[in-house]
């Protein structure tokens, strides 16, 4: 996957939001080779036009900000951000919070879901305590379940393939693929991608070798975060809502790049149409123009 490819992010987001009735959380970590070294800049390059974007007025005299307009009322602002000894994470969190506030209904839904997730975690702890107290009875149940499972098993073996199933447990081995399932949980490995899923909690963890991807999709909104491995900063944030917010926006996000010590260049995007791929690509091109790919 090309680093921080906006259209791919949008496609993944729309798929997750449309195909899942409940909440889907996907987080991943990865390791890989760092891309090219990014430039250190002290003033922004702000061309009059970039793709579908047109600069509004002149760039700020200090060279740290310029504003662009795009189709259907979309807006892009290019920022040159000095870290001043602070962390990249803190600097980007400021932009994420500011952009998320432009979709207040979607943000409220996301926070409500986070509260529900915490409540579920508390209930899970209570369930665990009860399970420990009932350990003796659970042991007896397990023995009976094992006896039942022994009568409900299957084993299939062929060149390059092996399947073993017993009760609600199963292992599958195919060329380039490995699956281990146990009740509501499953571990899947396909090539350089590892997926861990827990149906009971509604969580899916994805580990790839290209970049870190985090997807948090709800019924009416979704958030995507990506970051590339290595010392340099290469990060994106994208948040969308099925319906336009009271602010008029439907999609917000940023593309950020720069040396790890700063300054970093951040292009923030606000759009009134969920499908703003050309706007995001133009925003990314502005960032690339300033600090490299």
- Output the DSSP codes for 135-190: HHHHHHHHHHHHHHHHTSEEEEEETTEEEEEETTEEEEEETTEEEEEETTEEEEEE
Residue 246, pLDDT score: 84
State the Cα–Cα distance between residues 184 and 91, nearest whole angstrom: 38
Asked if residue 200 has pLDDT above 70, the reply is: no
Residue 145, pLDDT score: 63
Pick the residue with more confidence: 189 or 138? 189
Instruction: Kindly state the percentage of the chain with pLDDT values over 90.
Output: 37
Residue 161, pLDDT score: 79
pLDDT bracket for residue 90 (50, 70, 90): very high
pLDDT bracket for residue 52 (50, 70, 90): very high
Mean pLDDT of 37-48: 93
User: SS3 for 123?
Assistant: helix
Other Cβ atoms closer than 10 A to 108: 11
Mean pLDDT of 172-180: 85
220-231 tens-digit pLDDT: 788 888 888 888
pLDDT bracket for residue 12 (50, 70, 90): very low
Peptide bond preceding 263: is omega within 30 degrees of 0, i.e. cis?
A: yes
Residue 68, pLDDT score: 97
Asked if residue 6 has pLDDT above 50, the reply is: no
What are the structural domain ranges in the chain? 6-119+212-291
Pick the residue with more confidence: 198 or 237? 237
Asked if residue 51 has pLDDT above 80, the reply is: yes
Asked if residue 16 has pLDDT above 60, the reply is: no
Residue 256, pLDDT score: 97
| Least confident range of 35-39, 73-77, 195-199 | 195-199
Can you give 16-33 as a three-state secondary structure string? HHHHCCCCEEEECCCCCC
Give the mean pLDDT of the chain: 78
Residue 115, pLDDT score: 63
């Amino acid at each position: 996957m090309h680093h921080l490819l906006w259209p791919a992010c949008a496609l993944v987001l729309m798929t997750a939001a449309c195909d899942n009735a409940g909440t889907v959380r996907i987080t991943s970590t990865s390791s890989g080779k760092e891309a090219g070294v990014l430039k250190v800049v002290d003033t922004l390059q702000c061309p009059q036009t970039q793709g579908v974007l047109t600069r509004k007025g002149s760039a700020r005299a200090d060279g740290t900000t310029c504003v662009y307009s795009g189709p259907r009322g979309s807006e892009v602002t290019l920022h040159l951000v000095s870290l001043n000894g602070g962390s990249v994470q803190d600097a980007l969190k400021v932009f994420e919070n500011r952009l998320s506030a432009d979709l207040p209904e979607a943000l409220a839904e996301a926070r409500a879901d986070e509260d529900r997730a915490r409540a579920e975690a508390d209930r899970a702890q209570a369930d665990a305590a009860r399970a420990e107290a009932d350990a003796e009875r659970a042991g007896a149940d397990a023995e009976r379940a094992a006896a039942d499972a022994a009568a409900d098993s299957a084993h299939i073996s062929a060149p390059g393939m092996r399947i073993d199933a017993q009760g609600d447990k199963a292992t599958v081995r195919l060329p380039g693929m490995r699956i281990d399932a146990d009740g509501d949980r499953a571990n899947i490995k396909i090539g350089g991608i590892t997926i861990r899923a827990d149906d009971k909690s509604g969580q899916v963890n994805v580990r790839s070798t290209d970049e870190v991807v985090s997807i948090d999709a709800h019924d009416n909104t979704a958030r995507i975060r990506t970051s590339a491995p290595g010392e340099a900063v290469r990060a994106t944030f994208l948040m969308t809502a099925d319906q336009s917010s009271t602010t008029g926006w439907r999609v917000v996000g940023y593309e950020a790049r720069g040396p790890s010590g700063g300054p970093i260049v951040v292009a923030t995007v606000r759009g009134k149409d969920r499908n703003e791929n050309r706007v995001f690509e133009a925003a990314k091109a502005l960032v690339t123009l300033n600090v490299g790919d």
